[in-house]
Structure 1
Amino acid sequence: MSREALEQLREVASKCATASVWTLGDDELVDSLDTIHQALQTLTAAQLHLIREIDGRGLPIAQHASSMAVWLRERHRISIHAAKRLADLAKAVDERPALDTALVAGAVNAEQATVIATAVRDLPADLGPDLVDEAEAVLIGQAEQFEPTILRKAGQRILAHVAPEIADARDAAALQRQEARAWQTRAFQLTRLGDGRVRVTGWLDEAGAASVNAALDPLCAPRHDDDEPRTPGQRRADALVEVCDLATRTERLPDNGGQRPHVMVTVPFELLEQQFGVGVLDTGGRLSPTQVRQLACDAQLIPALLGGDGQVLDLGRTRRLISGSLRRALELRDRGCAFPGCDRPPRWCDGHHIQSWADGGPTSLDNSVLLCGYHHRIIHRGHWTIRLRVEDGRPEFIPPAYVDPRQRPRRNPYHHQT
């Protein structure tokens, strides 16, 4: 590589850069671009040969640079990332003569050469040299039709092409390590933020996440009767709560402290009657009076006599408001959530007092209706009115004026086809 040849190269490049291109025809314009591109790849190969020789002689260290990449950055004023790519590629083409030849010939460009070198480097260390050469040759051949991003994907699958048995075993081992790590690091936390919100964080393995998705997906669809549009995240949050509500109603969960799993809320009874009692959960969280009254619709109530400083002096017997034969009769009558258009089955539903029990409403079939958790919350906002039709004793719902200015009664035809 003589100085004279390099000077000639500089002069030719200068002429190309300053030449007018507007006089070229369309075909000449494209051909010129292709020729210069190929020449650039060949020059890149020459540049890499020089870099490798400079590195091999230890010139960067002799000039007090910490590495070849740092030396290139300072000398050519390029980014450290670009300098490192050049240094790494120079080493790669020095070790892979076939890749070097392809770059010199313009069969691959510098980006493609980097992708191929990385794919070959990532092959198993115990893979025979013949198979490594075959993998390299296949990727060099594919460089003619694939840009670097697609070529990188081909490189990730090249082991399956040249050694499928080894690839299958490697993939299986990698998957086992991945599954073991996911299982060991699984976690779930509920963190109270003190502002009424509880942050949910955690990790699941693929199988566990699939089960959660299968349970939540049917409940995540938008509802036509949403008072306000819910974001996808809000719908998933509501679905998680609904699934857990359903689980606590079943007989399948193990006892917790000798009792079925439950949510415990403490509130003075006289405040519950006055509709402004704030409830305190066993977790320490606080609930609004509306939420307390919703939970009290279908709950176990335990009267307790407390001392002045809050100690329990006497604990009465549990009273279940809607249960047993009344619950069965309610399910037989409503057959699911009675709110218009809802298709939730009975097991998803709470028993709701049409006239609140705390307001003196009786626990009877004529004062009860089945509502899913979502519509139970809507009803407790107080905008809808529920009544039983005299003709058949089934519930009907009076919408607020902003839903229907005429406030025509609505029924749920989904569960009753006759």
Structure 2
Amino acid sequence: MSREALEQLGEVASKCATASVWTLGDDELVDSLDTIHQALQTLTAAQLHLIREIDGRGLPIAQHASSTAVWLRERHRISIHAAKRLADLAKAVDERPALDTALVAGAVNAEQATVIATAVRDLPADLGADLVDEAEAVLIGQAEQFEPTILRKAGERILAHVAPEIADARDAAALQRQEARAWQTRAFQLTRLGDGRVRVTGWLDEAGAATVNAALDPLCAPRHDNEPRTPGQRRADALVEVCDLATRTEQLPDNGGQRPHVMVTVPFELLEQQFGIGVLDTGGRLSPTQVRQLACDAQLIPAVLDGDGQVLDLGRTRRLITGSLRRALELRDRGCAFPGCDRPPRWCDGHHIQSWADGGPTSLHNSVLLCGYHHRIIHRGQWIVRLRGEDGRPEFIPPAYVDPRQRPRRNPYHHRT
């Protein structure tokens, strides 16, 4: 590599860089780009040869650099990641002459060469040299049609191409190790942050995650075009809905298969006045609005306290909208009654139109089915629910900002036939 040739290379590159391209036709423009791209790959091969020789002579160490990559970073002002890729690829093409030849010829580019070198390096150490060479040749051939990301996937499966019996045994052993590790390290935590939020963290194995995804995915889709919830919020709501459905089945163990308990630890009169703070058996605190929402279709355990806050009597647990009343409610509403909602009955709560805490009766004429999302909407107090008409079906009066005329709305979705 003579200095004269390098000077000529610099002059040609300078002419190409300063040449006007607007005069070129479409075909000439594309051909010029392809030619320069291939020349760049060939020049990359030359660059790698130089880097490898510099590394072999120990010049970076002699100049007090801690490594060849660091030396390249400082000399050419490139990132350490780019410098390390160059140093690693220089070593790889030095060890793999066929890969070097392909790079010089432009059959592979630098990114593809890195992928191929990595795939070959990751083959089993006891694999025969002939099979390693075959794997390298196959990947070099595939570089003509695959960009680096797809080529990397091919590289991950190249052992199955050249030695399928070895690949099967290796994959089976690796999968068993992964499964054992995933099962051993599975975990699930609910961490109360003290600001009204509870952080959910954990790990699942593939089979467990597939089951969870199958349960959550149908509930994660946006419910309408202007869905206000983020994808993360929809997944969080779906998790709660799935657990809520599980508590309805009454097939869980005796210590868990019930609706949420609300333990009211303030004088009961305050709950009736909508000022009560609820405390769950987990220690979490609920606002009065949440307490009243849960009380619509949950087991409510009133706690009678003395002046020192000691429990004097825990009243009998009373299930509210259940049994024949629940079946009659499902027969009437057939699903969430909120306008436009298509949630089926099994995903719905029984809501007291006049709050039970305000003296509302537990009866069909004071009940409506609402999915969890619309149950929360109703408890904000902006929509009004009432039963009207000969059929006694619910209708909803929207707030003025939704409809200035506040015209009553019904949900025709479940009653099309």
Give the superposed CA RMSD: 3.7
Q: 1:307 to 1:113 in 2, by over 3 A?
A: same
Map of 2:133 onto structure 1: 133
Q: Which moved more, 1:130-139 or 1:386-395?
A: 386-395
CA contact (8 A) 1:265 1:282 kept: no
Gaps of 5+ in 2: none
> Residue 407 of structure 1 aligns with which residue?
406
Residue 263 of structure 1 and its aligned partner are, at CA, apart by 5.0
Cα 1:7–1:338 change in 2 (3 A) is closer
Q: If the length of structure 1 is used for normalisation, what is the TM-score? A: 0.82
Deviation at 1:270, TM superposition (A): 0.4
Distance in structure 1 (CA, Å) of the matches to 2:93 and 2:226: 65
Runs of 5+ in structure 1 lacking a partner? none
Q: Name the CA shift for 1:129/1:284 in 2 (closer, same or farther; >3 Å).
A: same
Q: Work out the CA distance in 1 between the residues paired with 2:334 and 2:235.
A: 26
Cα deviation, 1:28-63, whole Å, max 9, x if unaligned, reads 887777666655555544444444344444444455
Q: Which piece of structure 1 moves more, 188-197 or 32-41? A: 32-41
Matching of residue 12 in structure 1 with residue 12 in structure 2 = yes
Assess, with a 3 A threshold, how the Cα gap between structure 1 residues 109 and 388 changes in structure 2: closer, same or farther.
closer
State the 1:84 CA deviation. 2.9
State which drifts further: 17-26 or 70-79: 17-26
Aligned-pair CA distance for 1:4:
7.1
Q: Distance in 2 between matches of 1:162 and 1:211?
A: 35
User: Structure 2: how far apart are the matches of 1:388 and 1:284?
Assistant: 37
Alignment length (residue pairs): 417
Q: Would the aligned equivalents of 2:262 and 2:299 in 1 still touch at CA under 8 Å?
A: no
Deviation digits for residues 75-125 of structure 1 (CA, Å, limit 9, x no counterpart) = 555544444333323322222222233334444444433332222112222
**Residue number in structure 2 paired with 1:302:** 301
Quick check: 1:48–1:90 contact (8 Å CA) kept in 2? yes
SS in 1 for 2:138: helix
Mapped to 1, the partners of 2:390 and 2:18 lie a distance apart of: 94
Which one is further off, 8-17 or 254-263? Answer: 8-17
Could you say what secondary structure the match of 2:346 adopts?
helix
CA distance in 2 between partners of 1:189 and 1:61 (Å):
50
Given the superposition, is the C-alpha separation of residues 165 and 301 from structure 1 closer, same or farther in structure 2, using an over 3 Å criterion? same
For residues 335 and 23 of structure 1, what CA distance do their matches in structure 2 show?
Answer: 71
TM-score (norm 2): 0.83
- How far residue 310 of structure 1 moved from its aligned partner, in angstroms, is 0.9
**How far 1:252 sits from its partner (Å)?**
0.8
Q: Is the 8 A contact 1:254 1:261 kept in 2?
A: no
SS of residue matched to 1:16: helix
Q: 1:78 to 1:413 in 2, by over 3 A?
A: closer
Contact persistence 1:267–1:280 (CA under 8 A): no
| Offset at residue 135 of structure 1 (A) | 1.6
Shift of 1:254: 0.8
CA contact (8 A) 2:296 2:356 kept: yes
Summarize the Cα distance change of 1:321–1:104 in structure 2 as closer, same or farther, 3 Å threshold: closer
- 8 Å Cα contact 2:216-2:238 kept in structure 1: yes
**Alignment-derived partner of residue 268 in structure 1:** 267
Superposed CA deviations along residues 232-282 of structure 1, whole A, max 9, x for unmatched, are: 222222222222222222211112289776454444210122122222223
Distance 1:129 1:265, change over 3 A: farther
- Counterpart in 2 of 1:366? 365
Once the two structures are TM-superposed, the CA of residue 286 in structure 1 deviates from its matched residue by 2.4
Q: Identity over aligned residues, as a percent?
A: 96
Q: For residues 150-203 of structure 1, what are the alpha-carbon distances to aligned partners after superposition, in whole Å with 9 as ceiling and x for unaligned?
A: 433433332233223333333333333333333333222222222222222222
Q: CA, structure 1 residues 407+87, in 2 after alignment: closer, same or farther (shift >3 Å)?
A: closer
C-alpha contact (below 8 Å) 1:255/1:261 kept by paired residues? no
Change in 2 beyond 3 A, CA 1:143/1:415: closer
* CA shift in 2, pair 1:268/1:120, >3 Å: same
Whichever of the two has the greater Rg, that structure is: 1
- The residue matched to 2:342 in structure 1 has which SS? coil
Could you tell me how far apart the structure 2 residues matched to 1:37 and 1:390 are? Answer: 76
